[in-house]
Structure 1
Amino acid sequence: MNSRLIKNKALAIPFLAVYAWLVIRTSWVGDDAVITFRSLENFLHGYGPVFNIGERVQTFTHPLWFLLQAAAGFVFNLWKSNPFGQGQMYFLNVFISIGLSLLVAIIFAFNTTSSTKGAILGLLIFSVSKSFVDYSTSGLENPLTHLILLLFTLAYLTKKEDSQRSIYILGTLAALGGVDRLDTLLFYFPALILLFWQSPNKGKTLITLGFGFLPLIAWELFSLFYYGVPFPNTAYAKINTGIPESSLITQGIFYYLNSLKLDPITLLTIITVSIAGWMNRNAAHKTILAGVLLYLLYTIYIGGDFMSGRYFSTPLLICVTLLATMDFKSPKVYGFAIGIVLLVGIAPIFVIPERAPAFGVGDEGDHRVFVDERGISDERIVYTGLGLFERIKKKSAPSTNYARDKWVYLPGEPVRVRILGPLGLNSMTLGPNFHVIDVNSLADPLMTRMPLYEIERWRIGHFRHIIPKGYEETLKSGENRIENKDIALYYDKLSFIVRGELWSWERVIEIWNFNTGKYDYLLENVTPADAAE
């Protein structure tokens, strides 16, 4: 990049500052992020990367995000009088999120865009997109996902033809993206498949990609050995529902409509850039957009999410990145684009009363909790009290009675079981000496494989699987007291995997049996009638 272009791009700094201020001012953490905090506390205190001590279950969907926070937590745990105190997990999460989001914006403005105009337009879109601002923090993995995918897009657009080094870098970035969140691999697959297909030496390219994918392969092998399954427990909780595909697809469409209502600039930008990208002759843009299309279709197929806009921040980043690489030769067209972005981006703040305030999270009483008729919520309103400035104003972190040095497990005490929901803050408040059963089965390996109480009544992301009769007593006593004999036998096999001796060859055999469906027949006749009252 020449010095003149760098100097011209300095004009984008004020717009970068606006985005930075918005991210900091609106920074927050949702309850789903706090679910990971409990596993982090257990891991950092030597109890393993688990939710309930003594039971190897992965409740976080973002291993790389988990490991990044764990590394930061380890460093700060060495500092006995660090400034975060009992709120360490909360504040580290917020500051890491802010740092990653600002890094993404800086790389975008100074390394990705081809002109100052592109940088300014992109930063404006980021700043007025509710989805992008909200999920630049939130406590979830989005900021790390944004960074990895931006680097991948930049590397793909600037790659050298048939360069094994470029292929390795792209493969590694895709693998890290998969470790961060597995379903984001959809963004990467079209580009990687095309790289392989166009390579004159397919064998060498396949080997290079294999080496690049080692981080993901390593994590999956670890997950299969340690947890007994390749995917997080939350995935099984949301897959094993029995809900018709048509119902989920309908819900997914409503997820789009919700975003169009609360945050029209995000989807309109994605749609506009996608159409323009498919119409131009840039093959690299089309390949990247193919990944966006796959992810958007996947979002519909799974029913979207209960967090409004969460799944659109990453497609927006890609589309804005591609938009910013285009030439803006006509001042009139560019001025019109800026005007539309400002109008469509800012108008909803004033005309949609349900929308969270764009420039901060005020007192909890200022806003009503917004959950629409399809169960989709504006989560930043729901967790107003977990906003950074709200915590600073109250001079306290969220309920953290057992954090840091107070997170001590007492194995000699009787097992105390608690059924609750939401899972995050409530489980942190209880501390490590409670075994927590989540009403949505996010943390329980048996409940995720049970049918729903009522298949006609559900909220997306909140699927209430039955609690078998005798299961609570089983957890309290350590003896299998489940009344249904088939469920009881299934639990014996499952329990050996998640509670048995880790370095056991018999356990490895059971992991194989379990994942190849050997015991699935035991659950074929389970119905809601088997649920505890």
Structure 2
Amino acid sequence: MIATAVVVALWVCLAVLLVVVWPRLSVHRGWRLVTLAVTVAASLVHQLAYGTVPDQAHIGFRYARNIAEGYGPVFNPGEPVEGYTDFAWIVLLALVRALTGWGVEPVAVTLGIVCALGCVLVAYTLTGRILRWSGRAPAFAVAAAVVTAATGALAAYGPSGLSTPLFVLLVLTLVYTLVTGHIVLAGVVAALAVMTRLDGVVVAVVTGCWLVVAALRRRVPRPSPAVYVAGAAVPLVPWVAWRLTYYGDSVPTAVVARLVRASDSLVGRFEAGWTYVTDFALTYQAFLLIAAVTIGVLSYRRRLPGATYVWLLLALALAEAGYVVAIGGGSLPAWERLAAVPVLLAVAAASGFALAGMPTAAATGTASATDTAIPAGTAGSRTSATASGSASGTSPSPSSETVSGGVTGVMPTGRGVAVVAVVLAGLSVTFGMTRALPAMQELRAVENQLDEIGEWLGERLTPGTVVSAVPAGALAAAAGPRLYVVDPSGTTDTHLARHPEDHAYVVRDRMPAVVVDAAGGYLPSRTCSIRTDYAGPYEVVPFRRAGGDTTGGRWVELYLHRPQADLLTDRLTADPRFTAEPC
């Protein structure tokens, strides 16, 4: 409750500040810096209110730790299985750990927060850069930053340890490189997005198609698509070649497992994905309404300078939603899979509204200049000197600005846009605090319990002990590389990826000494039940965690291999926190 109150209070202060100083944001750099500073502070507090590291992140942590400690990109030493889709993020975490010796989890949380804050600043810079084509006020760029900072899906996964904030940052950076005319760099950034999350492939392809259309319409130089592909090939070709050589599979095991678990049929998967996206749309319907208005305005007023980049932002948002429908949605709360969509819509709406508000003469005059081919690296050179305030900090005239083509237009000073931005931000924060935050807090409590169970097993079992664990991420990361962890969900096992929950295979081929199913954390009471596949070679032993409540405490039930059951029980009960109470 305290965290929620602090977040709401800070956002109310930011809302009041934005509305009050809105007429000054376009002409006074100082007010822009102050508002941006408060926005960044609000974004930081917003993220810290969530502060949850889900189980999926711990899988990457274990890979990163193994890389840093010399075992290679493996979940279990000696077993090369590609149980991840965020190679660039894992390598970044491993590099920091190898250089500093810091723990992977705190490094991941810190970098995630920094990337989310970077999204706020890049949203501001990108919007300002787009609006330089028309000389519109940088106040719209501040509005885009404020709405980005308020986006609950981004804030919830800033400190999550997942690659989500880095991916959103790369998508925004990709559009920025195109706006500035750095096509080769755009290809490299697109490749990094592919190496960070699987939907980076969709982002890269949509961007490439946009470049082809822009080249045919002479909005960019004709060789731009080829240059973009060449830039992307620099990191992608050696990475793909290494993957095929090291793992031997064209499709990551994590992807196979996710698709198999998503649904028993293609239709069912699409239905699950559609439900996921529909729930998102109902929560963020204000964003969708603003995006629809932006599309309508841009369709009515064609050939606006810079509008082509707004269309790209909208296309990327639509492509992300389509991708999520195709894969069957996601399992994490707060719509983690769609975290980039509200941010893209915020930048698109701020840019589109500013461009659409141009005087007709100004729009026509500028369009004639910007429709010509633009040499790479010089995209921003044709804007007027007075339109550079959004990037350089110079202050244009308070009453008017000069746009390309020599036509003067009145600067927007009304507070209507500020009010719209405040409403969007307020709705996003409100929905986040009332719907996403409780779900994330519940997830955090479970993850803390899984960490505790994993540490217990890692400390008490002998190195090399085979443990089958559900879920495997947090348990395996907490246990460390001393234990060999089998994941029945299939994320890190090629056979189980195609046949999830094949417990007969686990018993017959993996032969774990300990089997633990703690998907919901501790149990409120012991059940003494055991799966049929394990009933012969295993016996169930409940352990009570000390410090439980008066209803019987907190319990975790382990299946122990019968020939080793007594020895394993003695080792595990050596920890004073856990007491065995056989059935």
Q: How does the TM-score come out when normalised to structure 2?
A: 0.63
CA distance in 1, matches of 2:287, 2:415: 23
The equivalent residue for 1:258 is 279
Q: How does 1:64-463 map to 2 (within 5 A)?
A: 64-77=88-101, 88-110=103-125, 112-113=127-128, 114=131, 115-159=137-181, 166-196=182-212, 198=215, 205-206=225-226, 209-240=229-260, 243-260=264-281, 281=302, 282-308=307-333, 309-326=335-352, 327=354, 329=412, 331=414, 333-348=416-431, 352=434, 355-357=435-437, 378-384=439-445, 401=455, 416-450=465-499
The equivalent residue for 1:163 is none
CA distance in 1, matches of 2:301, 2:339: 24
Q: List per-residue Cα deviations over 1:396-432 (Å, max 9, x = no partner).
A: x9778599xx99x99xx7x533222111111123332
C-alpha distance 134-343 of structure 1, shift in aligned 2 (>3 A)? closer
CA distance in 1, matches of 2:267, 2:235: 36
For 1:153, the aligned partner's letter is V
Alpha-carbon offset, residue 384 of structure 1: 4.4
CA distance in 2, matches of 1:280, 1:63: 42
Greater CA drift, 130-139 or 60-69: 130-139
CA distance in 2, matches of 1:25, 1:239: 32
Any conservation in 1 of the 2:52–2:440 contact (CA below 8 Å)?
no
CA distance in 2, matches of 1:49, 1:301: 28
For 1:10, the aligned partner's letter is L
Alpha-carbon offset, residue 304 of structure 1: 0.8
CA distance in 2, matches of 1:399, 1:58: 25
Any conservation in 2 of the 1:129–1:265 contact (CA below 8 Å)?
no
For 2:158, the aligned partner's letter is S
C-alpha distance 386-233 of structure 1, shift in aligned 2 (>3 A)? same
Local SS of the residue matching 2:160: coil
For 1:58, the aligned partner's letter is E
The equivalent residue for 2:541 is none
Any conservation in 1 of the 2:54–2:447 contact (CA below 8 Å)?
yes
C-alpha distance 432-338 of structure 1, shift in aligned 2 (>3 A)? closer
CA distance in 2, matches of 1:264, 1:384: 30
Greater CA drift, 238-247 or 126-135: 238-247
Any conservation in 2 of the 1:124–1:341 contact (CA below 8 Å)?
no
Task: Give the fraction of aligned pairs with identical amino acids, expressed as a percent.
Answer: 19
- Which of 61, 76, 90 is equivalent to 1:37? 61
Local SS of the residue matching 1:418: strand
Alpha-carbon offset, residue 62 of structure 1: 0.3
Alpha-carbon offset, residue 52 of structure 1: 1.3
C-alpha distance 383-277 of structure 1, shift in aligned 2 (>3 A)? farther
The equivalent residue for 2:547 is none
For 1:112, the aligned partner's letter is T
For 2:54, the aligned partner's letter is G
Equivalent pairs counted in the alignment come to 412
Alpha-carbon offset, residue 476 of structure 1: 4.5
Greater CA drift, 91-100 or 278-287: 278-287
Q: List per-residue Cα deviations over 1:152-176 (Å, max 9, x = no partner).
A: 11122332xxxxxx32111111111
CA distance in 2, matches of 1:193, 1:168: 15
Q: List per-residue Cα deviations over 1:486-532 (Å, max 9, x = no partner).
A: xxxxxxxxxxxxxxxxxxxxxxxxxxxxxxxxxxxxxxxxxxxxxxx
C-alpha distance 356-207 of structure 1, shift in aligned 2 (>3 A)? closer
Local SS of the residue matching 2:339: helix
CA distance in 2, matches of 1:287, 1:109: 17
CA distance in 2, matches of 1:21, 1:89: 22
CA distance in 2, matches of 1:262, 1:380: 19
CA distance in 1, matches of 2:153, 2:119: 15
For 2:318, the aligned partner's letter is L
Q: List per-residue Cα deviations over 1:331-353 (Å, max 9, x = no partner).
A: 25314413532553354467x5x
Instruction: Say which structure, 1 or 2, has more relative contact order (CA 8 Å, 6+ apart).
Output: 1
Local SS of the residue matching 2:486: strand
CA distance in 2, matches of 1:246, 1:279: 37
Q: List per-residue Cα deviations over 1:46-77 (Å, max 9, x = no partner).
A: 11110011110121210000111111111112
Alpha-carbon offset, residue 224 of structure 1: 0.7
CA distance in 2, matches of 1:283, 1:349: 32
1:466 aligns with 2:511: no
CA distance in 1, matches of 2:339, 2:443: 19
The equivalent residue for 2:537 is none
Alpha-carbon offset, residue 325 of structure 1: 2.5
C-alpha distance 401-276 of structure 1, shift in aligned 2 (>3 A)? farther
CA distance in 1, matches of 2:201, 2:294: 21
Alpha-carbon offset, residue 448 of structure 1: 1.3
CA distance in 1, matches of 2:249, 2:138: 48
For 1:89, the aligned partner's letter is V
Alpha-carbon offset, residue 43 of structure 1: 1.4
Any conservation in 2 of the 1:402–1:428 contact (CA below 8 Å)?
no
- Which consecutive unaligned segments of at least 5 residues does structure 1 have? 78-83, 160-165, 358-366, 368-377, 392-396, 451-463, 478-533
- Which consecutive unaligned segments of at least 5 residues does structure 2 have? 1-24, 132-136, 358-411, 513-583
CA distance in 1, matches of 2:436, 2:237: 40
Q: How does the TM-score come out when normalised to structure 1?
A: 0.68
The equivalent residue for 2:510 is 475
Any conservation in 1 of the 2:82–2:253 contact (CA below 8 Å)?
yes
The structure with the larger Rg is: 2
Alpha-carbon offset, residue 100 of structure 1: 1.7
For 1:310, the aligned partner's letter is E
For 1:472, the aligned partner's letter is V
- Which of 29, 32, 35 is equivalent to 1:12? 35
Local SS of the residue matching 1:383: helix
CA distance in 1, matches of 2:487, 2:54: 17
For 1:40, the aligned partner's letter is A
Greater CA drift, 29-38 or 322-331: 322-331
For 1:311, the aligned partner's letter is R
Structure with the higher strand share, 1 or 2: 2
CA distance in 1, matches of 2:118, 2:336: 20
CA distance in 2, matches of 1:229, 1:334: 51
Alpha-carbon offset, residue 89 of structure 1: 1.5
For 1:12, the aligned partner's letter is T
Local SS of the residue matching 1:52: coil
Q: List per-residue Cα deviations over 1:64-96 (Å, max 9, x = no partner).
A: 00111111111112xxxxxx5xxx122111111
